[in-house]
């Protein structure tokens, strides 16, 4: 088994290296009230548990009943994290079997609330914190982690958490949540995952004054000092966890692009905000072509926002358009961007480097509605983090210009969405093809039921991670994310599309992850990046590698 805490006897029977209270306090080993009488006698548990023995199904019933009674979603989040802290197997059983209910609780949108109040709801440490005072000894910090076979690391510096801004170390909820989805959605063994937060300070005035803030109450590091800390971290990971994939998460634009470019060709790494977001949106665009009958190469896309998510989507879309026959210049001319100031166009002198490839020749346009009227895009994609930017006038204009307008309101959490599903369908007369970053309830309009798709990165990054781990990939490439988008789009049925949904149901996400993992591994083998022998049946190999939340019998 991957978990070093168990000595394997056979497939179903193991011997734990702990007994008594120590066993009950280890969430990877604890079965709670499901320990059998024989196990209680053999492992020093007699008297430490209530007498009645409960089945896993009864434990699930108790937990779900209690969680559903909580008055707020934040309380539900706290209850589920508390379960993860005491019984890992039961936590994942509940999440996997109730993924549509639980994913919004343990990740977006509720994780955003949890991060904002992290210092106030803190119960127990999870993951590793690396601060500026650890400079010169980051390897030592990493070696303090008890599990030595780490395969997936999610790291943040907390500067751009969802659409909430600089939350400093309070952003730890994001790596914890992401990694729980790696396990629930793709089957990465939780013992092989490690959430990390780089505490490089915060510029959030509220946190600098909050007596319960849990990080360094100093201004953020920047420049050479910041770069040196990140570089030491990346190098230390290569030494301590040489098989680990590093996922950079929620870094601000000014660091995200350059760190990705610095490490992507030398380290097994990717940035989910840039590449994962791009992949799931590209999958949605691929799916939409079956409804609009407009091939990707003929679309004109207007992005509301020009940060890491927007440019990442644009770059991957350009690659896909080139695969359909366009030149790079032609494909880029199909993608337009509005940043916080105006249309990104060639006369502007204030553009950051990542925006310049999309600075086309055009007269200045100062607002989104005017841009929609002039450019007449096929799709508008919101990734600005600013709520309610897709107004009634904008959606109506999109509907005037397109029989089936594409309206993607992707900003997270839900409160930051550019518009709601109900707004998009109502204002377009039911013709909009809508997707969002966080979930919206189905909408009934004129007797027809619309089920909008959630363009959540959780469809992509877990499967990419599974593929990387299973084949021992030494690099993660944009080609892998393009193939992941195709694999996801291929899973969308005609029945899904009939309701307006561009993505498969979340209940199929484990199957989607396997399909994506196969595509990722195939790219790795084809490009010479894989380090593990190639299996005869790739899909069967991926399924066999998936962690299953099932109690083992202890002796």
Q: How confident is the model at residue 438 (pLDDT cuts 50, 70, 90)?
A: confident
- Taking alpha carbons only, the member of 438, 363, 369 closest to residue 398 is 369
Instruction: Tell me the HSE value of 249 on the side-chain side, using a 13 A CA sphere.
Output: 28
Residue-wise pLDDT tens digits, 305-342? 999 999 999 999 999 999 999 999 999 999 999 999 99
Nearest to residue 172, comparing CAs of 160, 158, 159?
Answer: 158
Please, which pLDDT band fits residue 13 given cuts at 50, 70 and 90? confident
pLDDT score at 7: 46
Residue ranges making up the domain that contains 215: 55-267
Only one residue has tokens 């409804």, namely 291
Would you state the pLDDT for residue 439?
87
Residue 331 lies in a domain: yes
For residues 486 and 491, what is the distance between their CA atoms, to the nearest angstrom?
Answer: 9
**Spatial CA neighbour of 235 closest among 205, 267, 206:** 267
Instruction: Compute the mean pLDDT over every residue in the chain, rounded to the nearest whole number.
Output: 95
- Could you tell me if 228 and 288 lie in one domain? no
Domain total in the chain: 2
Give 543's DSSP letter: H
139 in a structural domain: yes
Confidence at residue 216, expressed as pLDDT on a 0 to 100 scale: 96
Give the number of C-alpha atoms closer than 13 A to the C-alpha of residue 464, restricted to the C-beta side. 33
Handedness of CA 350, 352, 357, 358 (dihedral sign): negative
Question: What are 443's two structure tokens?
Answer: 């909408």
CA distance 371 to 210: 42
Name, in order, each residue with C-beta under 8 angstroms of 266's C-beta and a sequence gap of 6 or more.
Answer: none
pLDDT at 514 over 80: yes
pLDDT band with cut points at 50, 70 and 90 for residue 414: confident
Of the candidates 48, 321, 308, 84, the one whose C-alpha atom is nearest the C-alpha of residue 180 is: 84
Question: pLDDT tens across 458-496, in order?
Answer: 999 999 999 999 999 999 999 999 999 999 999 999 999
Q: In the chain, pLDDT over 70 holds for what percent of residues?
A: 98
pTM for this model (two decimals): 0.94
- What is the C-alpha to C-alpha distance for residues 83 and 89, in angstroms, rounded to an integer? 9
Do both 317 and 381 map to the same domain?
yes
Judgement on whether residues 115 and 248 belong to the same structural domain of the protein: yes
Q: What is the pLDDT of residue 2?
A: 40
- Specify if 295 maps to a domain: yes
Q: Indicate if 146 and 59 belong to the same structural domain.
A: yes
Task: Please indicate, yes or no, whether residues 281 and 243 belong to a single structural domain of this protein.
Answer: no
Active site residue 226: no
pLDDT tens track for 267-284: 999 999 999 999 999 999
Q: Three-state DSSP class for 408? A: strand
Token code pair at residue 241: 């966890």
Tell the residue number behind the tokens 């007369």, with chain if given: 429
Which pLDDT does position 483 carry in this prediction?
97
Mean pLDDT of 39-43: 97
Catalytic residue among 178, 243, 355, 519: 178
- 473 contact partners, CB below 8 Å, separation of at least 6: 245, 268, 467, 520, 521, 524, 529, 530, 531
Last residue of a domain, one of 217, 246, 267: 267
Is 471 inside any structural domain? no
Q: Are 450 and 443 in contact (CB under 8 A)?
A: yes
Alpha-helix runs per DSSP H in 456-537:
461-471, 478-490, 494-498, 509-527
- State the CB neighbour count (10 A cutoff) for residue 517: 31
Q: Alpha helices of 221-252 — where are they, by DSSP H?
A: 223-240
Does one domain contain both 418 and 357? Answer: yes
Query: What confidence tier does 141 reach under pLDDT thresholds 50, 70, 90?
Result: very high
Same domain, 290 and 222: no
Phi–psi pair at 197, nearest 5 degrees:
-120, 130
CATH code, domain with 393: 3.40.50.720
Residues 229 and 298 in one domain: no
CA-wise closest residue to 470 among 540, 550, 549: 540
**Angle 442-444-447 (CA atoms, 0-180°, nearest 5)?**
145
Dump pLDDT digits (tens) for 349-378.
999 999 999 999 999 999 999 999 999 999
Does 5 have pLDDT greater than 90?
Answer: no
265 phi and psi, to 5 degrees? Answer: -95, 0
Tell me: do 239 and 364 sit in the same domain.
no
Beta bridge partners of 7: 15
CB-based contact 402:291 (threshold 8 Å): no
Is residue 517 domain-resident?
A: no
Contacts of 144 by beta carbon, 8 Å cutoff, 6+ apart: 128
Catalytic residue among 31, 77, 92, 107: 107
Cβ neighbour number for residue 347 with a 10 Å cutoff: 10
Torsion of CA 494, 499, 500, 505, to 10 degrees: -70
249 and 329 inside one domain: no
pLDDT score at 1: 33
Q: What whole-number distance in Å separates Cα of residue 103 and Cα of residue 101?
A: 6
How far from 370 is each of 5, 219, 298, 374, 429, CA to CA, in Å?
A: 61, 39, 22, 6, 21
Whether residue 178 lies in the annotated active site: yes
Q: Say whether both 125 and 93 belong to one domain.
A: yes
**Residue 163: predicted pLDDT:** 83
State what percent of residues in the chain have pLDDT above 90.
94
* Domain-terminating residue out of 429, 457, 485: 457
pLDDT at 456 over 50: yes
- Tell me, yes or no, whether 64 and 170 share the same domain: yes
Q: Does residue 80 belong to any structural domain of this protein?
A: yes
Look at residues 419, 438, 457 and tell me which one is the last residue of a structural domain.
457
Mapping DSSP to helix (H, G, I), strand (E, B) and coil, where does residue 284 land? helix
* H-assigned helices in 293-427: 308-323, 328-332, 368-375, 392-401, 421-427
Q: Is residue 10 part of a domain?
A: no
pLDDT at 10 over 50: no
In a domain, 74, yes or no: yes
The pLDDT of 245-269, averaged and rounded, is 96
Return phi, psi of residue 409, to 5°.
-100, 90
Does residue 66 have a pLDDT over 90? Answer: yes
Residue 3 has pLDDT above 50, yes or no: no
| Residue 91 in tokens | 């936590």
The domain that holds 101 is classified in CATH as 3.40.50.10380
């Amino acid at each position: 088994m991957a978990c070093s805490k168990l000595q394997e006897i056979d497939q179903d029977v193991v011997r734990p290296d702990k007994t008594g209270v120590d066993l009950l306090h280890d969430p990877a080993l604890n079965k709670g009230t499901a320990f059998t009488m024989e196990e209680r006698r053999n492992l020093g548990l007699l008297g430490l548990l209530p007498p009645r023995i409960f089945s896993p199904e009864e434990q699930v019933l108790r937990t779900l009943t209690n969680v559903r009674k909580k008055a707020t979603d934040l309380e539900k989040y706290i209850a589920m994290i508390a379960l993860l802290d005491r019984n890992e197997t039961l936590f994942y059983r509940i999440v996997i079997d109730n993924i549509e209910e639980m994913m919004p609780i343990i990740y977006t949108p509720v994780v955003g609330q949890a991060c904002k109040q992290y210092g106030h709801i803190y119960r127990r440490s999870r993951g590793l914190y690396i601060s500026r005072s650890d400079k010169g000894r980051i390897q030592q910090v990493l070696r303090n982690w008890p599990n030595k076979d780490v395969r997936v690391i999610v790291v943040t510096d907390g500067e751009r958490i969802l659409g909430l801004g600089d939350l400093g170390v309070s952003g730890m909820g994001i790596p914890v949540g992401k990694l729980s989805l790696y396990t629930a959605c793709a089957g990465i063994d939780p013992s092989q995952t490690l959430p990390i937060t780089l505490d490089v300070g915060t510029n959030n005035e509220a946190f600098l004054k909050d007596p319960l803030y849990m990080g360094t109450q100093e201004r953020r590091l920047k420049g050479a000092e910041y770069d040196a800390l990140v570089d030491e971290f990346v190098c230390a990971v290569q030494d301590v966890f040489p098989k680990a994939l590093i996922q950079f998460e929620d870094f601000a634009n000014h660091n995200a692009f350059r760190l990705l470019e610095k490490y992507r060709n030398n380290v097994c790494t990717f940035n989910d905000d840039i590449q994962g977001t791009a992949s799931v949106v590209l999958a949605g665009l691929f799916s939409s072509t079956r409804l609009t009958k407009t091939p990707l190469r003929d679309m004109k896309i207007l992005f509301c926002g020009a940060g890491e998510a927007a440019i990442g989507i644009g770059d991957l879309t350009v690659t896909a358009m080139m695969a359909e026959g366009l030149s790079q210049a032609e494909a880029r001319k199909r993608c337009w961007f509005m940043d916080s100031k105006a249309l990104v166009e060639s006369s502007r002198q204030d553009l950051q480097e990542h925006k310049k490839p999309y600075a086309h020749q055009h007269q200045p346009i100062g607002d989104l509605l005017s841009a929609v009227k002039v450019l007449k895009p096929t799709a508008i994609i919101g990734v600005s983090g600013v709520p309610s930017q897709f107004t009634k006038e904008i959606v109506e204009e999109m509907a005037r210009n397109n029989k089936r307008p594409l309206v993607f309101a992707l900003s997270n959490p839900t409160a930051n969405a550019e518009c709601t599903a109900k707004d998009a369908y109502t204002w377009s007369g039911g013709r909009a093809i809508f997707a969002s970053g966080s979930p919206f309830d189905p909408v009934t309009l004129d007797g027809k039921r619309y089920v909008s798709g959630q363009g959540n990165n959780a469809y992509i990054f877990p499967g990419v991670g599974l593929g990387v781990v299973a084949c021992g990939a030494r690099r993660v490439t944009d080609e892998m994310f393009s193939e992941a988008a195709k694999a996801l789009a291929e899973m969308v049925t005609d029945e899904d599309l009939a309701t307006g949904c561009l993505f498969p149901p979340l209940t199929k996400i484990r199957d989607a992850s396997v399909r994506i993992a196969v595509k990722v591994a195939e790219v790795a083998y084809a490009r010479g990046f894989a380090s593990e022998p190639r299996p005869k049946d790739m899909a069967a190999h991926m399924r066999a590698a998936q962690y299953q939340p099932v109690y083992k019998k202890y002796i």
